[in-house]
Amino acid sequence: MLPTNDRSGKRQYPLFSIFLFVMLLNFLPVSAQKQTLPFRSGERVEYEVSYNWKFVWINAGKVVFEVDSLQYGDKPAYHFKSSGRSLSTYDLFFKVRDKFESVADAGNFSPYWYKRKTREGSYRADNKYNFIYEDSIIISQTKNSHQPYRKDTLSLNSFVLDLQTAVYYARTLDFNNMKSGQKIPFRIIIDGKIYDLSGRYIGIENIENQDGRIYRCHKFAATLVGGTIFSSGEEVLVWVTDDQNHIPILVEASILVGSVKAYFTKGENIFHPMESIIR
């Protein structure tokens, strides 16, 4: 959860912002979704987040993801929420209280709006996006501890995801039809800027979780963009269950100082049987 700095002295994002970002980096081609959704309204999944600094792993906090259904105007939609917080014992060193929230169309996952509220140590950041499809624009409102409030109008001429919606959209993709080494392009808005990024599919791998259970998983990797929270050329690795739920089980990433791991710890109202559990 320790903050990091690049060579210019600009503050980098700590643990929970990193975790939300790496949860989606590897899955986001603009392609057809599966007909059977991997989640349902009421699902709640929890993760334990650990930080490695100078060869010592520190249990730093927890992340929770939740999804509900609602009506957005006259359209069915999903309400996606996630929150991250440092453990009470870690608050003395670096207190974190993060919230991410978005509403997206239930049919094609086009985002309607997104909000982020970050409180990490002395750092503060707030982002709001409104996706206006009839005008093909995104109204972006951002501010943080280093930059004053800024309002921008961005072009929306292709499918663009926000961080929160992207985590769930990613789980709808048909991983079984991907080949080892296949590249996966995607577009995403982060801190008021739209990025064209890509990942790659690696294949099937069994992974032992922190609780001792072994899961059969799809494994992905992505080469990261330098100058933000990662060093240029580094990769993030993600393992998601090889069943109809596509729940991320383990996330690993190297950052500018140390590395991060997030382990699946608990799931409630899971839609499908967890058939990926080997033992």
Q: Where are the domains of the chain?
A: 15-267
Residue 258 in this model has a pLDDT that exceeds 90:
no
Residues 58-97 pLDDT 10s: 888 999 999 999 999 999 999 999 999 989 988 888 888 9
Higher pLDDT, 223 or 92: 92
Residue 48 in this model has a pLDDT that exceeds 50:
yes
Residues 157-185 pLDDT 10s: 999 999 899 888 888 888 888 999 888 77
Residue 230 in this model has a pLDDT that exceeds 60:
no
**Structure tokens of 100?**
């991410």
